[in-house]
A and B are shown apart, each in its own frame.
With several copies, the nearest count.
Chain A
């Protein structure tokens, strides 16, 4: 469902990051993507390093608590493996842009960006006046991805999706998109969602696909914890181009699916 040149959002705020779906995009050798994501994280470091991206729309591009995303930096600083255009926001602006997209509004309004240099480099940040008070507020155009991909804990057999814990902007990202894909830890007979839970009814979701462990090395609350050690290891894997390329070839391109990827990683650990 992802095509070359698409604008794609893979969301999940530290939690439920759709790594399995990201790997599949790499395996399918998609090119020229505009990638949207608040926190690019390891998943976009991999997509960028693998040459899938032409542009990144984001607000914080680091390896949380560890340091840099070396593939992102290499693309920005040295155009490797290809130049990467940046459309840079702050989190508040990204959140407002997704919410506007979900709301079918052309723009979102926020009290933001005042005094910062971001509007100088991102023409999509403008300032408007309140029609009642004259106050100056920031405006950002709505995000409307061609495809949004998120990972969730459960779906029922009809395709209704349930997620809980840190839910980030996943709901907004799905509702803002033209098409959407949800990978889930498991498909169950009954969702048994608590009242007011975050549920995506089947009729607003394009496709649902069970991928156990599909958020690794991020986490799925109630299923497995964040693999903080892998996040730390990534710093070494991605620091040099060669090491990164070997890793991607061996564990992503060299495997058929996410299950294969996980087995390949385990084998590597055993032989280390």
Chain B
């Protein structure tokens, strides 16, 4: 989309940011989740409570952190707690509204893999691993997932199940007694997928401007269900684009001039 005036990654971040309700408490990972969360905070959701697993609660960074524990996160936080407290009292405590995850692989029930590509014991690619994701996926009231859409990522079968989505679909997540509702949307650079209310299989429900359903189906490693009434994602507003670009620009400057 060279003439849309914005990139597909920008569309993805903005679409993700829009899903964040003002006032929600939000457990944020690094990368796109952090960008989307801060974009939301700087636009329609100023009262969003950002929580990073480093123990920083209610932080208001002026630039995107490179790590989940950059100094600015703790300096601008309402409260900084230890990591055991963060995982026990706050995440497991069930008080986080929304978890926001990325993934290397995702399957049709929004289970995700961030551990290995290939066999666990002899992987072709060793990924960073679980981090906080399994318990974010389990304990947040809702989970959003954001990743680029292609067949390497949207796979028929995960090489490793790192974090539980809707398991084998239907009521299998409930039967396993995972505390939270699980993933409620997957936001990609092509569109938005949401789980079917009954089968919990991810279904394409919104296309970003200029993207076709065929393109999304082709980019998915399983026969993707497409909603009968397919919506089109509203293009980025001027404000959204400006705030996101300003944020990225400030971030780039802040992380450059040190070494």
Contact with A along B100-140 (1 / 0, CB 8 A): 00000000000100010000111111111111111100110
Of A88, A111, A116, the most chain B CB neighbours within 10 A belong to: A116
CA distance A103 to B177 in the complex (A): 16
CA distance A92 to B131 in the complex (A): 8
Q: Which of chain A's residues 200-252 have a Cβ closer than 8 Å to chain B?
A: 201, 203-204, 217, 219, 221, 225-233
Contact with B along A141-183 (1 / 0, CB 8 A): 0000000000000000000100001111101100100000000
Complex contact A13–B55 (CB within 8 A):
yes
Contact among A65, A114, A225 for B138, CB-based, below 8 A: A114
**Interface residue total, chain A, C-beta cutoff 8 A:** 75
Contact with A along B35-68 (1 / 0, CB 8 A): 0000000000000010001111110000001111
Complex contact B69–A13 (CB within 8 A):
yes
CA distance A196 to B93 in the complex (A): 19
A38 at the interface (CB under 8 A from B): yes
**Interface residue total, chain B, C-beta cutoff 8 A:** 74
B125 proximity list for chain A (CB < 8 A): 73, 77
Segment of A20-28, A53-61, A253-261 engaged in the interface with chain B: A53-61
| Chain A: minimal CB distance from B165 (Å) | 9
B259 at the interface (CB under 8 A from A): yes
Contact among A15, A66, A118, A204 for B69, CB-based, below 8 A: A15
Contact among B68, B93, B124, B258 for A14, CB-based, below 8 A: B68
A168 proximity list for chain B (CB < 8 A): 54-55, 69, 82-83
Complex contact B177–A135 (CB within 8 A):
yes
| Chain A: minimal CB distance from B49 (Å) | 6
B75 at the interface (CB under 8 A from A): yes
A264 at the interface (CB under 8 A from B): no
A66 proximity list for chain B (CB < 8 A): 66
B138 proximity list for chain A (CB < 8 A): 111-112, 114-115
CA distance A197 to B55 in the complex (A): 12
Contact among A89, A110, A197 for B92, CB-based, below 8 A: A110
A110 proximity list for chain B (CB < 8 A): 87-88, 92, 135
Segment of B156-164, B207-215, B229-237 engaged in the interface with chain A: B156-164
Complex contact A111–B179 (CB within 8 A):
yes
B249 at the interface (CB under 8 A from A): no
Complex contact B89–A65 (CB within 8 A):
no
Complex contact A219–B71 (CB within 8 A):
yes
CA distance A172 to B56 in the complex (A): 18
- Asked whether A104 and B78 contact (CB < 8 A) given A91-B130, A99-B84, A172-B84, the answer is no
**Count: A-B pairs, CB below 8 Å:** 235
- Asked whether A98 and B84 contact (CB < 8 A) given A90-B131, A201-B79, the answer is yes
B255 at the interface (CB under 8 A from A): yes
B184 at the interface (CB under 8 A from A): no
Closest residue to A116 on the B side, CB-wise? Answer: B134
Closest residue to A136 on the B side, CB-wise? Answer: B177
Contact with A along B144-180 (1 / 0, CB 8 A): 0000000000000000111110010000010011110
| Chain B: minimal CB distance from A12 (Å) | 9
Complex contact B80–A165 (CB within 8 A):
yes
Complex contact A92–B91 (CB within 8 A):
yes
Complex contact B132–A102 (CB within 8 A):
no
A117 at the interface (CB under 8 A from B): yes
B256 at the interface (CB under 8 A from A): yes
Closest residue to B138 on the A side, CB-wise? Answer: A114
Closest residue to B164 on the A side, CB-wise? Answer: A115
CA distance A90 to B164 in the complex (A): 13
A35 at the interface (CB under 8 A from B): no
27 contacts between A and B (CB under 8 A): A14-B67, A14-B68, A39-B131, A58-B129, A60-B132, A77-B122, A77-B124, A88-B130, A102-B88, A102-B89, A104-B93, A112-B135, A113-B134, A114-B138, A114-B176, A114-B178, A115-B111, A117-B162, A121-B121, A169-B84, A203-B23, A217-B259, A219-B71, A221-B75, A228-B255, A229-B256, A231-B67
